[in-house]
Structure 1
Amino acid sequence: MQVEEFYDDRSNAEEPPRVIHLDCIFYHYLSREFRISPTFRRNFSKTQRSRRFKFILLPTRYDLIDYKWNDRVTEMVRERCELDHALSWLSTLGGAFSALGDYFSNCAQIAGKISVNQLKLALRLDDPTIASRCRLYFSLSLIQQHRFKLARYIVYEEYKAANESTVADERLVRMCKGIWAKLQYEYNMHRSRKKIEQISISFK
C-alpha cells in the first residue's frame, strides 16, 4: 500500500485531507489529469468538497501484463534474430560460390541452391525486397548454367514488379539492369562459342 497526497493551490494548510482509497492504475490516470488540466482539478475539488486529498493506493485487481503475448513476442524476436543471422551467413556463402560459378558449373549449382534457401528465409521474414533479391541471385546461377530463358523470365518479372511498386526501390531496379546486361553478354558469348564449335566440327 502506498500513500499519495494532493493539494489544491488554494487549499488551507490546516484543512484535514480527505482520504480516498484508489486502485493504483486508476490513480495513474487521475494524477495525469491533475497535472494537465486545471479545470479538472477545480471540478474535482468542488465535487469532493475538499482541496486536500490523501490517496491510499491499493493493488490493482487486474493483471495488465499479457504474459502469453509477451512470450509470443519474445519468441518472434528470437526467431527474427536467428533468421537474420542465417540469412547473413547464406549471403556470404552464396556470394563466394556465385563468384566461382563463372568458372565451375558445380559451384553455380550450389549457389542456386543457396539462393533458394535464402528465398525461403526471406519469405519466412515476410520481406518482399529481400525475396526479390534472392530470386535475382537465383537468376545469376541460372545464367552461369546457361539456362537463359528462365533467367530472362525471372529478371523481367522482378524488374516489372520493382517499377510498379508504390515506392520504387532504385537499388533493386539497378540490380535488375545489371543482371540483364550480364544475361545479354553471357548469351551472346554462349552463341559465339557454339558457332565456333560447329565450324570446327564441320572442318573435321
Structure 2
Amino acid sequence: MALIVCVCDYWNHRHFYNRPVPDRFQMLCGGEGNTTVKTEPVRRLVLELDAVRGNYVLRELLQQRVLKQWLLRELGVRLVWLRFQMPQRWSIDYKWAEMMAHTIWTHIELEHLMCWLSTLGGGYSALGDQFARYAQTAGEISLQQLAIGLRLGDPFLQARCKLYYSISLIQRGQLRSAKFLIRAQYRFACGLHKKRDKRLMRMCLGVWGRLCYEYEQRQKQRLSIENGKRFE
C-alpha cells in the first residue's frame, strides 16, 4: 500500500505522486452499463501551506519512509492533499546560494585549468614523437586532466583524456595497451549511451589510424631486420 500525494498549485493544477496505475480489466468493465466497480473510501489529509514550506513537506513525504508508514498505519491516511498558496514573503536561502556559488566557481576554475593543461599537453605531445621524455610528460598531463574530468563528473571528458593518454602510450611504444584503451573508449562512445558523441568517435578513429601506422612501421622494421640477418 503506497501513500498518494497530490499537490494543487496556484492554478488549481493537480500533480500526483505515487499514484497507482488503474487496472485495465476494471477500466474495461467500467465502460459497460451493467457492471459497477466497487471503490473503497480513501481517507485524506488536507494541508494548506505556502509554496516554500509546502515544498519541504513534499520532500519529506516522498523520501521519509517512517513518516509514510506512520500516516498509513497510525492515522489511516491514504491520500495527502497539499494545497499550495502564494507565500506572503519570499525567503532567500543564503546557505544554498553560497554552496551553489562555490560549486560554480570551482567548475569555472577547473575548466580554466583544463584549458591550460590541454595547451601544455598538446605541446609536449608534439615533441613526444622525437623525444620519449616529452611523451612521458604528455601522459602525466593527460592523467591530471583525467583527474579533473572525474571531479567534474563528465564521462565524455574522461574518455577524451584517456584518448590523450593513449597517444602518449603509442609514442612510448606501448601499442598493445593503447589498443585496448582506444577500443574501450570507442565502445563507450557508440554503445553505452543513447546519445552518441560523434566528436569522440572521430577522435577514436583518428588515434586508431595513428596506432595502425605505428604497427605498420614496426612490422616493416622487423622485416628489414630479418632480411638483413639473412644476407649476413
CA distance in 2, matches of 1:139, 1:163: 18
Give the structure 2 partner of residue 145 of structure 1: 172
Q: In the alignment, residue 191 of structure 1 is paired with which amino acid? A: Q
> How much does 1:195 deviate?
3.5
Deviations 1:162-184 (A, max 9, x none): 00121111111111111111101
> How much does 1:191 deviate?
2.6
Give the structure 2 partner of residue 35 of structure 1: none
Give the structure 1 partner of residue 184 of structure 2: 157
> How do 1:103-142 and structure 2 match up within 5 A?
103-142=130-169
Give the structure 1 partner of residue 15 of structure 2: none
> How do 1:46-195 and structure 2 match up within 5 A?
60=89, 64-164=91-191, 165-195=193-223
What is the aligned-residue identity percentage?
Answer: 41
CA distance in 2, matches of 1:115, 1:201: 40
Equivalenced residues, count = 145
Higher helix proportion, which one?
Answer: 1
Structure 2 alignment gaps of length 5 or more: 1-49, 51-87
Deviations 1:114-167 (A, max 9, x none): 000000001111111111100000001001111011100010011011001211
Give the structure 2 partner of residue 8 of structure 1: none
> What secondary structure is seen at the aligned counterpart in 2 of 1:70?
helix
Q: In the alignment, residue 182 of structure 1 is paired with which amino acid? A: R
State the 4+ residue runs in structure 1 displaced beyond 6 angstroms.
none
TM normalised by structure 2 equals 0.59
Q: Which has the larger radius of gyration?
A: 1
TM normalised by structure 1 equals 0.66
Structure 1 alignment gaps of length 5 or more: 1-25, 27-58
